[in-house]
Amino acid sequence: MKGQILIGMNGDEAAAYSTKQVNPEVVAAYPITPQTIIVERFSEYVADGEVDTEFVAVESEHSALSSCIGAAAAGARAFTATAANGLALMWEMTYIASSLRLPIVMAIANRALSGPINIHNDHSDSMGARDSGWIQIYCENSQEVYDACIAAWRIGEHPDVQLPVMVCLDGFTLSHTMENVMTLTDEAVQEFVGKRRFITVKGHMGETEFRLNPEVPLTMGPLDLQDYYFEHKMQQIDAMELALKAIPEVDAEYAKVSGRSYDFLHPYRMEDAEVALLGLGSTMGTVHYVVDQLRSEGVKAGLIKMRVFRPFPAEELIEVVGDLPALGVLDKAASFGAPGGPLYEEVKSVFYDEDRRPLIADYIHGLGGRDTSPSMIRGVYETLMGIKREGEVPEKVSYVGVRG
């Protein structure tokens, strides 16, 4: 597409740069490795007068999201970014942001949750927030981070959705790794995101836009008990359902502007695949490499990269999996005491009611930033081939790359 410029950026810089182009009213953030570059770069844009944004250098992540909530309720676009313990400290506010239906955008530089303290990548932080009512997009590379941090506004602000969005990028693997990123012009980004639009609601003082309006006051965040709470939760459930329709709309529009198409799931070599791996984020780049190797050796291997985890694209997954005999799920988070990792459990539930379903095995890998090498992935495909051959899953959950 015309006017795009190639810039060398790491994932954090891509998040900061796209946010600069969006020029939101408020960015409230607190530093935490490996997200720090996002707030540093953005602070530079503020210091150099390149944005109109009010940068609120808060004293904690809890206040970061609380400030974003205040700002978004007042009608602003509000952005924040965090990781691991920072997201854990925000915990309470993540649920409140989504239940107040505020389309905040938050970048998560995925990092292992303490303890023991560890600064490297896994998905224990954002997976813990999977029930918080946020849309979750997982990125494979800096390009995806850049694009998602722009599309996220339109997804979250979609009149049928009105939900906050997490853009997840793997700590260090993406956050600190320089890559080529095709960037839109500022004008193209501005045109794409437009001005924030508000839905109209019926408040106790009359009909008004859904924001804190001094002229037609609304009460936001009231006490909501047995008689209404459940209905309000249903609205959130419905909004996630509607997001399944809204996301492809926004993605299609973004594709027109950028030439880059995104979907819930990105399958690769799946048409005739006999074994495949499903996973999130940067690991899928390694998997891609291994699939190519295996294909050149005559193995019918494929992969499915899941870009959108919330809402969970169940129907799309069923369709993409098709007649695949054996599916491995790559989980970069453990769920202690559960039957398996979080992604595995959801994938299995989706297929429970299907007549046509693959044998499914879980591969928990990369905890605390443990490297997941091509040879490990190759090993995983080998076990999948065994599963396919035997027609059964001897070990439902395996741990890849851990010492015995």
Residues that bind another protein (CB under 8 A): 25-26, 28, 52-54, 56-60, 62-63, 66-76, 78, 92-93, 96, 100, 195-196, 198, 204-205, 209, 211-215, 217-225, 227-228
Type of residue at 374: P
User: Which CB sits closer to another protein, 92 or 395?
Assistant: 92
Of 288, 250, 236, nearest in space to 266 by CA: 288
Please report how close the Cβ of residue 75 comes to another protein at its closest, in angstroms.
4
Is the omega angle on the peptide bond into residue 115 within 30 degrees of 0, that is, cis?
yes
User: Which CB sits closer to another protein, 45 or 351?
Assistant: 45
Phi, psi of 328 (to 5 degrees): -100, 140
Phi, psi of 202 (to 5 degrees): -100, 110
What are the strands of the beta sheet with 275-279, ordered from one edge? 265-268, 301-306, 275-279, 326-331, 359-365, 397-400
Please report how close the Cβ of residue 107 comes to another protein at its closest, in angstroms.
18
Please report how close the Cβ of residue 113 comes to another protein at its closest, in angstroms.
21
| Pairwise CA distance, residues 253 & 85, whole Å | 35
SS3 for 280?
Answer: coil
Phi, psi of 11 (to 5 degrees): -60, -40
Radius of gyration of the chain (CA): 21
Please report how close the Cβ of residue 149 comes to another protein at its closest, in angstroms.
19
User: Which CB sits closer to another protein, 228 or 289?
Assistant: 228
Please report how close the Cβ of residue 68 comes to another protein at its closest, in angstroms.
6
Cβ–Cβ under 8 Å, residues 305 and 330: no
User: Which CB sits closer to another protein, 67 or 398?
Assistant: 67
User: Which CB sits closer to another protein, 65 or 278?
Assistant: 65
**The pair of three-digit structure tokens given for residue 22, joined into one six-digit string:** 């969006």
**The pair of three-digit structure tokens given for residue 109, joined into one six-digit string:** 């530089």
User: Which CB sits closer to another protein, 96 or 257?
Assistant: 96
Please report how close the Cβ of residue 307 comes to another protein at its closest, in angstroms.
30
The CA–CA distances, whole Å, from 247 to 22, 34, 378 equal: 19, 28, 33
Phi, psi of 130 (to 5 degrees): -70, -20
Please report how close the Cβ of residue 40 comes to another protein at its closest, in angstroms.
18
User: Which CB sits closer to another protein, 28 or 88?
Assistant: 28
Measured CA angle at 209 (ends 204, 214), to 5 deg = 70
**Within 13 Å of residue 66, how many CA atoms lie on the same side as its CB?**
11
User: Which CB sits closer to another protein, 67 or 286?
Assistant: 67
Widest distance between CA atoms in the chain: 69
Please report how close the Cβ of residue 108 comes to another protein at its closest, in angstroms.
19
Q: Give helix 342-352 / helix 314-321 axis angle, nearest 10°.
A: 80
Cβ–Cβ under 8 Å, residues 361 and 326: yes
User: Which CB sits closer to another protein, 1 or 47?
Assistant: 47
Please report how close the Cβ of residue 193 comes to another protein at its closest, in angstroms.
13
Phi, psi of 54 (to 5 degrees): -90, 115
Type of residue at 173: T
User: Which CB sits closer to another protein, 85 or 283?
Assistant: 85
Please report how close the Cβ of residue 217 comes to another protein at its closest, in angstroms.
4
